[in-house]
Amino acid sequence: MRIYLLGGKNSTLVTGRASGQSNTLLADVVGTRDPLQVPPWVQLQPSGPEVPRPFLLSHGTTTLAFRCSHGVVVAADTRSSCGALVSDPSSRKVITLHRHLLATTSGTSADCATWLRLLRCALRMRQLSEGRQPSVAGAAKLLALMLKGCAQKDLCVATLLCGWDCQGPGLHYVYSDGTRFSGDVLAVGSGSPYAYGVLDGTYQYDLPQAEAFLLARKAVAHAAHRDAYSGGNVDLYHVRPDGWVCVSREDLSQVYRDKFLVCPITLGH
C-alpha cells in the first residue's frame, strides 16, 4: 500500500516504493531518536526571492480558552477579515486535531490551516508509531519546532492548543516564530485585551460548568463589541476527559444584549 503525504510528482512516499523515488521509511517520519523530532517532510527548502504583497493584510479576531477542573473551555468569534473587508462572517476558528485536542486560529487563515493540518498528520503518525497520542505539551513543542524552522518565511500563525491528556486539562500558546508557553487563561487576537478585561475579573479554576460557559460567551461578546475586526457568532467548545464537544454557536450581538445591556431606570420627579 502506498501513502503519499504531499501531492504531485514531488510526493514523499511513506510506505511502498515508487519508480525514481527513494523510499522514506515510517521510522524516518515518526523516528524514535528524538520523541519530538520535526518530521522531514515539513522542512521547507529555500526558494526564490520573496514576492511583495500587493497590499497590507490586517489580521483581527478574538479567540480564548481557560482551564477548569472539569476541562478546557474554548471560545472564538467567527468573523474573517481581509483589510477593511469582512470576507466571511461565519468562519470556523476552532480546528479539531484529534478527539482530545483542539486548536484555535489567529493570524493568516491559510497559514493556520496549513500548519495545523501538518500537525494533525504528525500527531497521527506519532500515535501509530507509539500506540498513544502525544501530550498537549508535546504537541505544542512539536508545532513550535516546525514553525521555528520557517521563522523568516513571513508566516502569521498564533494558536491555542487546548486538550486533555494523562496530566489533566492542558492549554498552550504557540506562535509562528517558535514561541510557546502554557497558562490557565489565554486570549489571542485583536480583541484579546477586551476579553482579558472580562476574564480577569471572574475567572476561577473551580468555576462550575454553566458559569464557565457563560464567562466565555461574555468575554467574546465584549471583545466583539469593542473590536471592529471581531464579530459574527461565538463558537463554544468544551474539552472533557472523554473528548471535546461543540456546545453552541450563538449570535454575538444577541449575546451582548442579553449579558451586558441593562434596561434604563426611570427616576421619579
Q: How far apart are CA 76 and CA 61, in angstroms?
A: 8
Looking at the chain, list the stretches that DSSP marks H as alpha helix, in order from N- to C-terminal side: 26-30, 109-130, 136-148, 192-202, 209-226, 252-259
In a domain, 53, yes or no: no
Q: How far apart are CA 8 and CA 5, in angstroms?
A: 10
Q: Total domain count for the chain? A: 1
In a domain, 32, yes or no: no
pLDDT value, residue 42: 53
Q: What is the pLDDT of residues 25-68, one digit of tens each?
A: 444 444 444 545 555 545 555 555 665 655 555 567 999 999 99
In a domain, 173, yes or no: yes
pTM, two decimal places:
0.76
Return the CATH number at 233.
Answer: 3.60.20.10
**45 burial class (0-12, 13-18, 19+ CB within 10 angstroms)?**
exposed
Domain that holds residue 183: 63-261
Q: How far apart are CA 67 and CA 35, in angstroms?
A: 26
The answer on pLDDT for 13 being more than 50 is no
Q: What is the pLDDT of residues 163-179, one digit of tens each?
A: 999 999 999 999 998 99
Among 73, 74, 75, 79, smallest CA distance to 61 is for 79
In a domain, 200, yes or no: yes
Q: Where are the beta strands (DSSP E) in 35-127?
A: 63-68, 71-77, 80-82, 85-88, 94-98, 101-104, 106-107
In a domain, 150, yes or no: yes
In a domain, 232, yes or no: yes
Q: How far apart are CA 234 and CA 251, in angstroms?
A: 6
Residue 69 three-state SS: coil
**Mean predicted confidence (pLDDT) in 246-262:** 85
Query: Hey, what's the cell of 148?
Result: 521555528
In a domain, 243, yes or no: yes
**Alpha-carbon Rg for the chain in angstroms:** 21
pLDDT value, residue 74: 97
Q: Which residues are catalytic?
A: 61
In a domain, 160, yes or no: yes
